[in-house]
Structure 1
Amino acid sequence: MQWLIVIHVVSAIIGIGPTFFGHILFRRRQQEEQLRQSLALFQLLNLFPKIGGSIAVVSGVVLVSLSGWKFSDLWIWISLVLYVLIQVVAVGLLTPVVNQLKQVLDGEEERSTAMDVSTSAAMLLTKANRLYNTASFLGFVLILLMIIKPM
């Protein structure tokens, strides 16, 4: 059972951890080339929540099955809901914003002036940061819940 706990904790850290890097990747006042590098890193870091998060959920379900906890326990439901919300924010909402930002930088969207590009990129960057703040907050609550769960 100890090895399963280790797998669960490590995969959770790997799965939620990259959420906290978004604030660095999508910081304001970056040069265009820096932002392009940040977008490339985002694509790479995006693999970790998918893999680590999936392993964390599976190992968590196995842990609940093998321990004295019940799937009807409120903290388990809250944890699962938080995980789903993080996925919705990170994958469902943030990824399209990042793709739009990439399109703006690549010049694929219609634009009339350079000012429109920087304004559009700044708005998308602000939106991405808000979504990252939301995902980070939910991740922090999830980690806190895992630490102080009922014994």
Structure 2
Amino acid sequence: MGLFGLLLVLHILASIAFIGPTFVTPIIRRSARTVGQLHFVLGITTKLAIMPKIGGFVLILTGVGLMIITKMGLSQMWLNVSILLALLMIVLIDGWIEPRMKKIIKSISESQDQGNEIPAEFRRMIKKIVPVEAAAQLLMIAVLVLMVVKPF
């Protein structure tokens, strides 16, 4: 396996690390039924949040490496659109979802009723994030499709 093959394998693995937690986190979070369970779940998902950051960094490095090796640069429209959508996705996750999740985690950690049902206020805070998470997931699917199909 040459340098191209190695970079391609690392690029694919990095994309899994980058994308995987974003799809799994909302499912894990929805499984919580009590404040204690929600606190536990948010702790797990906070730890999972490092994977997209590492994966994203490796994704950029390997992507640039692949662009250099293939001498493609930014000449392909599908690549430019993919990069633009990925940047938008990062803005949604790091700029909109993550700060709100930190606020929810802080509120949950301050809650004294660890065994009781999740209060309506926490449910409302979480429900506000759901549409933005869905948009980020759709952007991820679009980027994956563009990377695999290379339509234009």
1:118 and 1:73 mapped to 2: Cα distance?
Answer: 50
2:130 and 2:36 mapped to 1: Cα distance?
Answer: 18
The 3-state SS of whatever aligns with 1:70 is coil
2:126 and 2:72 mapped to 1: Cα distance?
Answer: 42
Paired residue for 1:111?
none
For structure 1, which segment, 28-37 or 129-138, has the greater mean C-alpha deviation from structure 2 after superposition? Answer: 28-37
Q: Which residue, out of 81, 86, 91, partners 1:83? A: 86
1:25 corresponds to 2:28: yes
1:83 and 1:89 mapped to 2: Cα distance?
Answer: 10
Paired residue for 2:127?
126
1:149 and 1:57 mapped to 2: Cα distance?
Answer: 18
For the structure 1 residues 79 and 85, does the alpha-carbon distance in structure 2 shift closer, same or farther, using more than 3 Å as the test? same
1:92 corresponds to 2:95: yes
How far off its partner does 1:131 sit? 2.2
The 3-state SS of whatever aligns with 1:26 is helix
For structure 1, which segment, 45-54 or 66-75, has the greater mean C-alpha deviation from structure 2 after superposition? Answer: 66-75
1:64 corresponds to 2:67: yes
Paired residue for 2:107?
104
1:76-129 alpha-carbon deviations (Å, 9 max, x no partner): 111111111121111111111111112222337xxxxx9xx8232011110222
Contact 2:79 2:146 in 1 (8 A): no
Q: Which runs of 5+ in 1 are unaligned?
A: 109-113
Contact 1:22 1:132 in 2 (8 A): no
Q: Which runs of 5+ in 2 are unaligned?
A: none
For the structure 1 residues 143 and 101, does the alpha-carbon distance in structure 2 shift closer, same or farther, using more than 3 Å as the test? same
TM-score, scaled relative to structure 2: 0.85
What is the Cα-based RMSD across aligned positions, in Å?
A: 2.2
1:68 and 1:149 mapped to 2: Cα distance?
Answer: 16
For structure 1, which segment, 99-108 or 131-140, has the greater mean C-alpha deviation from structure 2 after superposition? Answer: 99-108
Contact 1:4 1:59 in 2 (8 A): yes
For structure 1, which segment, 49-58 or 19-28, has the greater mean C-alpha deviation from structure 2 after superposition? Answer: 19-28
* Aligned residue identity for 1:100: K
Contact 1:22 1:129 in 2 (8 A): no
The 3-state SS of whatever aligns with 2:30 is coil
1:24 and 1:82 mapped to 2: Cα distance?
Answer: 23
2:10 and 2:109 mapped to 1: Cα distance?
Answer: 40
Alignment length (residue pairs):
145
